[in-house]
Chains A and B, each alone.
Chain A
Amino acid sequence: MDPLLLSRWQFAITTIYHFFLVPLTLGLSILVAIFENRYVATGNETYKRLTKFWGKIFLINFAAGVVTGIVQEFHFGMNWSGYARFMGDIFGAPLAIESLLAFYMESTFIGLWVFGWDKLSKKMHLAAAWLVAIGSSISAFWILIANSFMQNPVGYAIENGRAVMTSFLALVTNPNLPYQFLHVLAAGITTAGFVALGFSAWHLLKDKKGDIEFFQIAFKWAAAYALIGAVMVGLVGDAHGKYLGKHQPMKIAAAEAIWDTADPADFVVVAAIDEEAGKNGFEIRVPNALSFLLYNRFTGEVKGLNELQEEAKAQYGDGNYIPPVALTFWSFRIMVGVGTLMVLLAFLAVVRPKVKFLNKSPLFLKALFLAMVLPYLASTFGWILTEEARQPWIVYGLQKVEEAVSPNLSAGTVLFSLILFTLLLGATVAVTGWLMYKYGTSDPKAEKAAEY
């Protein structure tokens, strides 16, 4: 094993842990602010209790999100010093701005929100809730500016062997950014919707003597929120795919396992992918459907991996420029499959009060409780897709992953930290999940007895 491979594993594992927590922070901060907004606008105490109940889940999740985030920041210097030197001029700026604009805002106003219930006026307290939510979205926005550059470099020049920024405006108006940001934001809304839906379903199912009305209201809001999120994820994702077809054809070709250029191109539903031979064995195709997905018509060329590999060789020199096809292909299918399932479930949850069969079905509530795992699956495979389909590049077309790794790390050192972070962050995520379960299934009326 070499430090490069171990560093890649370490980054992958810690990022996935981090992104178990981030979407819920993004989405739930907004939902909590919406509930508090209702409370302040109507004076209805139920909404105050909803605010506090989901606020507690939010806080448990947020703490773990912060600590896994610090690990990510340090990583760029620790394991990827080649990247930090080459990209610091461009990458450091959005990271520092994220810190300055978002982290201060989130952390300061969370402190005020938690400790300020009887120290601030109602409106000031509500403002704190919104500022936390806005801070979370700003944070996602700036870090995705950095990530968008890695997918699609803009506004730069190469000077003395490093990338330097030539246009800050180009960086923040990266055409890849709106898709990525809205996709992530919508994923956050979906995650929060499904988590709130899942715990509400649990209470409606198990807690016959509990506060049924409270969780019926929560269920109603969560269902609408989840549906809005899930539909938006799909729409933005579809538009992003069309964009990538034009600008990052290698990513699309890998995600769709298209080895040979075709016009019109078929959509490969499932395939036995042979990466060695550069072709698929068994496959199920829908004729012309990929052209339709990318261009909204049944014709249009989609370049295959083999041709793109030749083009890349001509442009960048010898080397393998084809990403891990099977991994991206299946990640894509899991993401889209799970996403579609979520749209369906969220729709059924929204219409539940009107449909007798659903309204009486404990099975549906059970399914919704289990469905809490779905947004996490989709997010994880979404990131595996977008990061793996950029391989071998760390910055598309500019720097390869192997050039980015720190030259002064031994395999033993990285193995040590890899094991340590995997266990420690794994335990952190596990305890977070357990506490969320404990509080999510607790009686909101017993609030006073609990810690907040």
Chain B
Amino acid sequence: MILNTVWFILVTVLFIGFFFLEGFDYGVGILLPFLGKNDTERRAVINTIGPVWDGNEVWMITAGGALFASFPNVYATLFSGFYLAMVLMLVALIIRGVAFEFRGKRESKSWRALWDWAIFTGSLLPALLWGVTVANLMRGFAIEQDMNYYGGLLPLLNPYGLLGGLVFVSLFTMHGANFLTRKVSDGIAERAKKAAFTFWIVATVLTVAFVAWTFFATDILTKPGINGLVPAVLAAVTLLVTGWLIRARKSGWAFITGSLTVVFATIMVFAGLYPRILVSSLDPSWSLTIVNAASSPYTLKVMTIVAAIFVPIVLVYQGWTYWIFRKRVEAKPEELTY
């Protein structure tokens, strides 16, 4: 039983890594067409995430894989239930993934503009769809007794779900703008700083509305025992501090506190769900939990050993990569790779 909880925590950690890392590179992608005034500047923007975006995306792939290995029923219910949302997400990730590689391969202006917008769309859509998905997980959806959801896409696009989507988009955009402020120089950095503040305002307003709605419409913040209240408060505090730090031009600190907001918000979601993973809105006993959705104790044991060995190794070499590429990217064509 304890391994079920260990894996719930590990899946949470993988989603934290995913939202924290892909969060800023989705944000950078969303800001790309607006912050880069010419091709060289846009290349500089892309180069800030060039060496790391692929590694960041692996956090999503691993979160999915870990979910499959530890809670296969969740994987089955979620991915088949949210089928069309997943299709759209894949479409976005496909065009985004190839866009980074294809963009620089031709000089033509229209070719590059095409892939700039592909990066924009490919970053915006997953941010939105993950937000919609997470909000629906918090509120619960119509899972039937056979663990399947038959409702299709439309019921998931409810106002609460869509608000969740917008919260994700605005938070990630702010997060990406904070990252850019640190990673580029001069004019672009100044524009990134302005964007960070604008999106901080938007994110704060939307987040307040979303948390209030969450308080009344779900039990995430209020259920007895472990719930999301404390991390929600911490997320709110770090978000407020982030706004102040952006204004005070302490961009490094603003990035850190903004990151903490993403981390605490993710913890809020999972703490509020625990020990459930997928909540059935039809009958609480039809919910998928860390018990009825889990793999066998043997598989969980094997996977725990594997994770205990390899997760630290991954953290070390990914951290090292960020250290290697810690310098600001200058908007000088001869120094740019993409």
Taking beta carbons and an 8 Å cutoff, which residues of A are in contact with B? 59-60, 62-64, 66-68, 70-71, 73-74, 76-79, 81-82, 84-85, 87-93, 95-101, 103-105, 107-112, 114-116, 119-120, 159, 164-166, 168, 406-410, 413, 416-417, 420-421, 424-425, 428, 431-432, 435, 438-439, 451-452
B69 in complex: contacting residue of A95, A119, A407, A410, CB < 8 Å: A95
When C-beta atoms are compared, the residue in chain B nearest to A414 turns out to be B83
Q: Is the CB of B72 within 8 A of A408?
A: no
Chain B proximity of A144: nearest CB distance (Å): 16
Q: Is the CB of B62 within 8 A of A74?
A: no
A409 CA to B84 CA in the complex, in Å? 10
B55 at the interface (CB under 8 A from A): yes
When C-beta atoms are compared, the residue in chain B nearest to A406 turns out to be B80
* Most chain B beta-carbon contacts within 10 A, residue among A98, A111, A410, A428: A111
A67 in complex: contacting residue of B62, B76, B98, B150, CB < 8 Å: B98
A425 CA to B58 CA in the complex, in Å? 20
The interface residues of chain A lying within 8 Å CB-to-CB of B98 are 63-64, 67, 428, 431-432
A213 CA to B97 CA in the complex, in Å? 35
B286 at the interface (CB under 8 A from A): no
When C-beta atoms are compared, the residue in chain B nearest to A65 turns out to be B97
Chain A proximity of B2: nearest CB distance (Å): 18
- A107 with B68, Cβ < 8 A, contacts A60-B105, A70-B90, A425-B94 known: no
A103 CA to B150 CA in the complex, in Å? 33
Q: Is the CB of A63 within 8 A of B101?
A: yes
The interface residues of chain B lying within 8 Å CB-to-CB of A92 are 65, 68-70, 72, 75, 295, 299
The interface residues of chain B lying within 8 Å CB-to-CB of A107 are 54-55, 57-58
- A100 with B307, Cβ < 8 A, contacts A88-B69, A120-B324, A413-B83 known: yes
Listed from nearest, the 3 A-B pairs whose CB atoms lie closest are: A88-B72, A77-B79, A92-B69
B222 at the interface (CB under 8 A from A): no
A90 CA to B298 CA in the complex, in Å? 10
B100 in complex: contacting residue of A63, A76, A410, CB < 8 Å: A63
Q: Is the CB of B100 within 8 A of A96?
A: no
Q: Is the CB of B80 within 8 A of A77?
A: yes
Q: How many residues of B contact A (CB 8 A)?
A: 66
B337 in complex: contacting residue of A98, A104, A115, A168, CB < 8 Å: A115
* Most chain B beta-carbon contacts within 10 A, residue among A59, A85, A105, A166: A85
Q: Is the CB of B149 within 8 A of A81?
A: no
- A85 with B76, Cβ < 8 A, contacts A93-B302, A104-B55 known: yes
Chain A proximity of B93: nearest CB distance (Å): 6
Q: Is the CB of B79 within 8 A of A74?
A: yes
* Most chain B beta-carbon contacts within 10 A, residue among A77, A81, A116, A168: A77
B318 in complex: contacting residue of A62, A108, A452, CB < 8 Å: A108
Q: Is the CB of A111 within 8 A of B87?
A: no
A41 CA to B250 CA in the complex, in Å? 47
Q: Is the CB of B80 within 8 A of A88?
A: no
Chain B proximity of A24: nearest CB distance (Å): 14
A303 CA to B58 CA in the complex, in Å? 46
Contact with A along B47-66 (1 / 0, CB 8 A): 10011101101100110111
The interface residues of chain B lying within 8 Å CB-to-CB of A435 are 102, 105
Taking beta carbons and an 8 Å cutoff, which residues of B are in contact with A? 47, 50-52, 54-55, 57-58, 61-62, 64-66, 68-73, 75-81, 83-84, 86-87, 90-91, 93-95, 97-98, 100-102, 104-105, 146-150, 152, 295-296, 298-299, 302-303, 306-307, 310-311, 314, 317-318, 321, 324-325, 337-338
- A90 with B337, Cβ < 8 A, contacts A99-B58, A114-B50 known: no
A101 CA to B307 CA in the complex, in Å? 10
Q: Is the CB of A438 within 8 A of B50?
A: no
Known: A88-B76, A111-B50, A424-B95. 16 other contacts (CB 8 A): A78-B87, A88-B71, A88-B72, A88-B75, A89-B295, A93-B303, A96-B66, A96-B70, A100-B65, A103-B62, A111-B321, A165-B296, A409-B83, A410-B152, A420-B91, A424-B91
**12 A-B contacts, Cβ less than 8 Å apart?**
A67-B93, A81-B148, A88-B72, A92-B72, A95-B69, A96-B66, A98-B65, A104-B317, A108-B317, A111-B50, A114-B50, A428-B94
The interface residues of chain A lying within 8 Å CB-to-CB of B54 are 66, 107-108, 110-111
When C-beta atoms are compared, the residue in chain A nearest to B54 turns out to be A107
A96 in complex: contacting residue of B79, B90, B303, CB < 8 Å: B303
The interface residues of chain B lying within 8 Å CB-to-CB of A165 are 296, 298-299, 302
- A111 with B75, Cβ < 8 A, contacts A70-B61, A89-B296 known: no
When C-beta atoms are compared, the residue in chain B nearest to A71 turns out to be B90
- A84 with B97, Cβ < 8 A, contacts A74-B64, A100-B306, A115-B325 known: no
Q: Is the CB of A104 within 8 A of B314?
A: yes
Chain A proximity of B149: nearest CB distance (Å): 6
A107 CA to B62 CA in the complex, in Å? 12
Q: Is the CB of A77 within 8 A of B91?
A: no
The interface residues of chain A lying within 8 Å CB-to-CB of B80 are 77-79, 81, 406, 408-409
